[in-house]
């Protein structure tokens, strides 16, 4: 029985388990060792009818993995054993070893459940990294009542009961109070019921007039100057019951408008207005009611400033449950309860329950997290109050974390993992890495309208425009355009003519620049080999004759700015910093010095709606078959005759493998057994770390491809049976410095002479240069 105590007997096997020791132990004896304790076979536990602990274990794994999935696995491995290991809730505080606490006091632990070998698996939501798949395990823990008399430090070690039909608003308000007290602005440290306080941690403000809903008066109105507001992030799903348009805009501004039954908005919106009241805030911004949907000027004014809307908001309500705007916020109204509940049992005074999902697990697996528009809403919000099918969660960008099934202590009761996909942190990350990780996550998402592909990311791109020192051109940074063109599909990608083929926005499907944690030296090891201009003559790339190391530690840019080069001791990644104009300026890790794009060029790029590039560079012809290369075998989407993402071998006129190209599997029948044109975008090293032959360990830079030692040292190993490079090592040298071109596979010209990108790859320079010709192409 979910959500209540079960009082049945224990089976003989569970009677033998040292439950007191498993869940509590003297703090001086506890060590975080990875020791598994056997709980019984999966079949024994699943078929038990009377034992209350087996019932809890069965309920926990079925809630976590799905009952049908567990049932399907029972017959595969009949002897599979369910095991557990121990861990404390609070990993940020070393209270276990705190010398000021009583060493004999018992501490509470939670148990993480696993099978003895991976019969049951639940992978984290795909990160696009086939080398690293996180597995999420179910957990059980002890419960302690709020009124137990324990202090906050003790309570933080236990779980708490969560009602399915009602939210504990006192608990939620405690999270906000503690967050404000810890790092809110001076104004926001006042009581939460004051409704005319700005609470920004970063000092941001709106530069346009925002329309909001006044929940006290039941109508829309302009946001008063300095007033705080809440934003809602949700899914429309289908068209809204009520939305603002030119015909009803004036009526919506009349007090009491939303109190009338025939003007009732969708359920999620009604609940969001109620939550706003519960939190002591007066104003809430909701797109359907606060944007005039048939006034394109008003739509663009809001859409182009989504970074401001969500960053300036006091907090963002996330409606992560359900499928559309009528799914509601579970727990706000008894008519829509939480559907994922705790099971609780009592064994000799120990109250045990299944632990509900963490915030990241609950939100990452939600349908809400699969929609295109919600990505930047999650990325840009300073505080998230997330409503799911199991409980409410609270996180802020300064580290506070709250959930209903845990007791709060100082707002950081559990260790939360840093997820680069949802953080524009370019003090720790390389600037391009922050952008690249965002693109990789964003392109996995779904869009109802293909035209939204750029528009739904404008807020995040606005946030990055300043650090990149220039605007984005169809989603690609104009100041790192040669690197920005190097995106690679990671699954099937189909062409969408809404946007140009050279942009990731012109394709439907997931892309990435590099696998996770592999952006090191991407800017340092990319040397443009062509001149690229946008319409209006705006130059985006120019040919780099040969990369050289500036012997000075600092260098002066074209506009007088001072750049400093650094090398990370751990990764040997080179990065650059710009001398700050003020002590409060952001510390940014640049992949290389970036030029500053002026306003006239930025206006030309913004005005261009077509996206045709004029490129002067080297083009060469090579032959494709349906033969695949061994390189990137783990990344291939080809399996058992199914071709999703193919890495095709590129052949020169002698039949040698000169390189490889990534193409969508559906293109292969039209490409094979034909000669195609390839454009040399840039030249690069074989590796971007100290294992590359061109790396100078003393000077800590990559030597020029004109260096006299380039290609002079041969590897004595035979390449007959092992070849993981993009070319045939028996023919082309891998010890040559900067040995490959990053290339685009081009389509045949259309009637206007324009070509499109069909794929991206690498070809050895010794295969490319002898047959290359200088050409000018129009790339659309």
- For the chain, give every domain's residue range: 5-142, 169-340+357-414, 431-489+501-526+548-606, 613-779
| Among candidate residues 542, 527, 546, 522, the one with its CA nearest the CA of residue 705 | 546
What phi and psi, each to the nearest 5 degrees, are found at residue 329? Answer: -110, 100
- CB 382, CB 315: distance < 8 Å: yes
Question: Residue 472: what are its φ and ψ, rounded to 5°?
Answer: -100, 140
* String of DSSP letters for 94-129: -GGG-TTS-TTSEEE-EEEEEESSSSS--BPSP-S-
Q: How far apart are CA 270 and CA 241, in angstroms?
A: 11
| CA–CA dist 159, 342 (Å, integer) | 11
CB 745 within 8 A of CB 758: yes
Residue holding tokens 């690293």?
A: 132
| Whether 127 contacts 421, CB under 8 Å | yes
Which residue's entry shows tokens 């009818």? 49
Q: Phi/psi at 315 (nearest 5 deg)?
A: -155, 165
Token pair in block for residue 381: 């919000």
3-class DSSP state of 277: helix
**What dihedral angle (degrees, nearest 10) is formed by the CA atoms of 18, 24, 27, 28?**
0
Alpha helices in 456-594 (DSSP H): 458-468, 481-484
Alpha-carbon span 558 to 312, nearest angstrom: 35
**Beta bridge partners of residue 494, listed in sequence order:** 508
Query: Residues of the chain whose pLDDT is less than 70?
Result: 1-8, 26-35, 77-78, 90-106, 122-135, 149, 153, 184-204, 409-418, 420, 427, 515-517, 549-554, 581-584, 630-641, 713-724
State residue 95's pLDDT score: 46
pLDDT of residue 183: 75
Q: In the prediction, which pLDDT does 100 show?
A: 54
Q: Checking DSSP bridges between strand 401-403 and strand 392-396, what pairing results, if any? A: antiparallel
Whole-prediction pTM: 0.89
Which helix H or strand E contains 252, and what residues bound it? helix 249-252
What's residue 639's pLDDT?
62
Distance between CA atoms of 33 and 308, rounded to whole angstroms?
46
Q: Which long-range contacts (CB under 8 A, 24 or more apart) does 134-139 make?
A: 136/64, 136/361, 137/64, 137/112, 137/113, 138/60, 138/61, 138/63, 138/64, 138/65, 138/112, 138/113, 138/354, 138/355, 139/60, 139/110, 139/111, 139/112, 139/113, 139/354, 139/355
pLDDT, position 23 = 85
| Residue 324: Cβ within 10 Å count | 18
Please name the helix (run of DSSP H) or strand (run of DSSP E) that holds residue 250, with its range, or none.
Answer: helix 249-252
Angle, CA of 344, 350 and 354, to the nearest 5°: 35
Distance of CA 157 to the CA centre of its chain: 30
| Cα separation, 530 vs 678, whole angstroms | 13
Q: What is the residue-wise DSSP string for 438-468? A: HHHHHTTSB-SSTTHHHHTTHHHHHHHHHHH
Question: For 305, how many CA atoms within 13 A lie in the half-sphere containing its CB?
Answer: 20
Half-sphere exposure of 626 (CA within 13 A, CB side): 11
């Amino acid at each position: 029985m979910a959500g209540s105590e079960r009082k049945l007997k224990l089976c003989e096997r569970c009677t033998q388990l040292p439950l007191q020791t498993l869940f509590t132990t003297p703090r001086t004896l506890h060590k975080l060792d990875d020791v598994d304790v056997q709980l019984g076979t999966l079949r024994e536990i699943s078929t038990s009818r009377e034992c209350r602990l087996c019932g809890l274990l069965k309920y926990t794994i079925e809630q976590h993995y799905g009952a049908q999935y567990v049932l399907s696995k029972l017959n595969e491995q009949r002897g599979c054993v369910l095991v557990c290991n121990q861990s404390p809730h609070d990993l940020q505080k070393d209270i276990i070893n705190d010398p000021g606490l009583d060493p004999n006091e018992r501490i509470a632990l939670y148990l993480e459940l696993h099978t003895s070998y991976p019969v049951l698996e639940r992978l984290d939501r795909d990160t696009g990294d086939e080398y690293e798949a996180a597995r999420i395990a179910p957990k059980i823990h002890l419960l302690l009542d709020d009124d137990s008399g324990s202090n906050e430090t003790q309570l933080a070690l236990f779980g708490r009961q969560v009602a399915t039909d009602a939210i504990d608003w006192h608990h939620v308000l405690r999270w906000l109070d503690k967050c404000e007290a810890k790092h809110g602005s001076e104004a926001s440290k006042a009581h939460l019921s004051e409704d005319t306080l700005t609470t920004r941690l970063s000092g941001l403000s709106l530069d346009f007039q925002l329309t909001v809903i006044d929940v006290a008066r039941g109508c829309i109105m302009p946001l008063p100057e300095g007033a705080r507001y809440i934003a809602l992030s949700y899914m429309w799903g289908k068209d809204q019951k009520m939305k603002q348009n030119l015909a009803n805009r004036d009526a919506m501004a009349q007090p009491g408008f939303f109190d009338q039954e025939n003007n009732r908005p969708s359920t999620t919106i009604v609940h969001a207005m109620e939550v706003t009241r519960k939190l002591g805030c007066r104003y809430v911004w909701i797109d359907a009611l606060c944007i005039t949907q048939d006034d394109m000027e008003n739509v663009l004014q809001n859409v182009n400033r989504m970074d401001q809307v969500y960053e300036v908001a006091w907090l963002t309500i996330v409606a992560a449950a359900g499928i559309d705007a009528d799914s509601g916020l579970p727990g706000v109204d008894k008519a829509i309860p939480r559907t994922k509940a705790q099971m609780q049992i009592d064994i000799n005074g120990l109250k045990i329950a299944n632990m509900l999902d963490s915030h990241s697990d609950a939100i990452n697996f939600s349908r809400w997290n699969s929609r295109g528009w919600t990505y930047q809403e999650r990325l840009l919000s300073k505080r998230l109050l997330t409503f799911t099918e199991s409980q409410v969660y609270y996180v802020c960008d300064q580290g506070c974390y709250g959930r209903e099934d845990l007791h709060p202590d100082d707002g950081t009761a559990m260790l939360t993992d840093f997820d680069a996909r949802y953080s524009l942190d370019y003090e720790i990350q390389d600037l391009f890495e922050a952008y690249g990780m965002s693109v990789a996550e964003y392109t996995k998402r779904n869009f109802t309208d293909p035209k939204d592909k750029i528009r739904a990311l404008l807020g995040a791109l606005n946030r990055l425009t300043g650090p990149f020192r220039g605007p984005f051109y169809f989603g690609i940074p104009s100041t790192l355009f040669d690197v920005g063109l190097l995106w690679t599909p990671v699954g099937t990608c189909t062409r969408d003519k809404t946007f140009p083929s050279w942009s990731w926005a012109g394709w439907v499907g997931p892309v990435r620049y590099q696998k996770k944690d592999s952006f090191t030296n991407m800017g340092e090891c990319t040397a443009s080999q062509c001149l690229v201009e946008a319409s209006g003559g705006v130059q985006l790339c120019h040919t780099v004759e040969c990369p050289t190391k500036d012997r000075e530690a600092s260098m002066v840019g074209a506009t007088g700015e001072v750049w400093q080069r650094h090398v990370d001791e751990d990764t040997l990644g080179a990065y650059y910093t710009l001398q700050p104009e003020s002590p409060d300026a952001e510390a940014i890790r640049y992949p290389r010095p970036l030029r500053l794009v002026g306003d006239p060029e930025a206006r030309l790029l913004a005005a261009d709606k077509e996206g045709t590039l004029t490129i002067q560079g080297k083009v060469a012809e090579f032959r494709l078959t349906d033969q695949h290369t061994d390189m990137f075998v783990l990344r291939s989407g080809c399996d058992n005759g199914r071709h999703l993402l193919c890495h095709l071998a590129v052949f020169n006129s002698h039949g040698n493998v000169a390189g490889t190209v990534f193409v969508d599997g559906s293109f292969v029948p039209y490409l094979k057994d034909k000669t195609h044109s390839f454009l040399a975008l840039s030249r690069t090293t074989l590796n971007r770390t100290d294992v590359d032959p061109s790396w100078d360990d003393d000077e800590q830079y990559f030597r020029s491809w004109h260096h006299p030692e380039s290609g002079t040292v041969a590897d004595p190993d035979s390449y007959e049976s092992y070849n993981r490079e993009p070319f045939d090592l028996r023919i082309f040298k891998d010890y040559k410095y900067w040995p490959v071109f990053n290339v685009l596979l081009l389509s045949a010209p259309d009637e206007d002479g324009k070509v499109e990108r069909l794929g991206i790859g690498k070809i050895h320079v010794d295969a490319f240069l002898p047959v290359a010709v200088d050409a000018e192409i129009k790339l659309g």
